[in-house]
Amino acid sequence: MTTKLRRVLIVSRSRVDDGAALTGQACLELSTQGMKPVITREELDEAQAHSGNFESVYGVPLSLIEVLGEQCDVADLELVIVLGGDGSILKAAELVRSCNTPLLGINLGHVGFLAEGERHELSAMIRRVVARDYSVTSRMALDVRVLVEGEEVYSTWALNEATVEKSARERMLEVVLEIEGHPLSSFGCDGVVVSTPTGSTAYAFSAGGPVVWPSVEAILMVPLSAHALFARPLVVNPDAMLAVEVLRRSAGSGVLWCDGRRTFELAPGSRVEVRRSSEPVQIIRLNDSSFTNRLVNKFALPVAGWRGPEA
């Protein structure tokens, strides 16, 4: 009986310096444990462009790894190890979206809300991966589509947020918001963020939106610098359809950004519809730490003096 080769994609924020060194370490440790490390062709090409040699960048021989899309497909992957911040995790989620492969984040960035550990924990985390000693949690994603004259002209998805923004700095964007098929308000603004609970600590948070616990099912709508008496952040039923229409009277055009990675130009008259996706993103967890503790640690929140429930 042939044992299926366990393949792990490694996505790093950098092909040089600490990102490269940790990628090499992960490749070596996975390989010695009988697993097959995989990297993208993009990372391989950048490593070779940097020095002409994969081994000199990563510190491991090329023979240890496979290249995604060449020696193996996305469907062959058991999981993805992401070395970087939340942006790297969003990149990895995009790479494996077709198969919903679970993601394990190791933070090399500043905050890293989606990451499960820090760089010094890499070896311990790989041992947990080898032993399959982890759980997988689902995070809501969004399906996003753009319509013009009732015809769909673009569709994509988002884990954090879909944002309608003005294209030109000097011109405001005139929009009207719709919730569950009913118009809510129209105003001029810099844009509108439609966010998942996962994205509530990202762009929506910076725009003044609430922090929503990942266990809460909801969709957020947060206006950006709106000229209106009523332009508060909204928390909406997760099964509602939210829409942002760029009004024909708008002096400028807009642009749709999804997770800061996928973009589409919005002419006046464009309509952006956002719904909960039927395909969530799978995130690996290694411990049961609460989201409250994660907030305290990531934002360095002051909790001195807390005594807890009295005995």
Q: How far apart are CA 70 and CA 272, in angstroms?
A: 36
Residue located via tokens 């990563």: 58
Catalytic residue among 17, 73, 86, 259: 86
What CA–CA distance (Å, rounded) separates 235 from 72? 41
CA distance 44 to 39: 7
What 3-state class would DSSP assign to 154? strand
Is residue 259 among the annotated active site residues? no
CA angle 260, 262, 268 (to 5 degrees): 100
User: How far is it, in rounded angstroms, from Cα 167 to Cα 188?
Assistant: 13
Report the Cα–Cα distance between both ends of the chain, in Å, rounded.
Answer: 59
Query: Which residues belong to the active site?
Result: 86
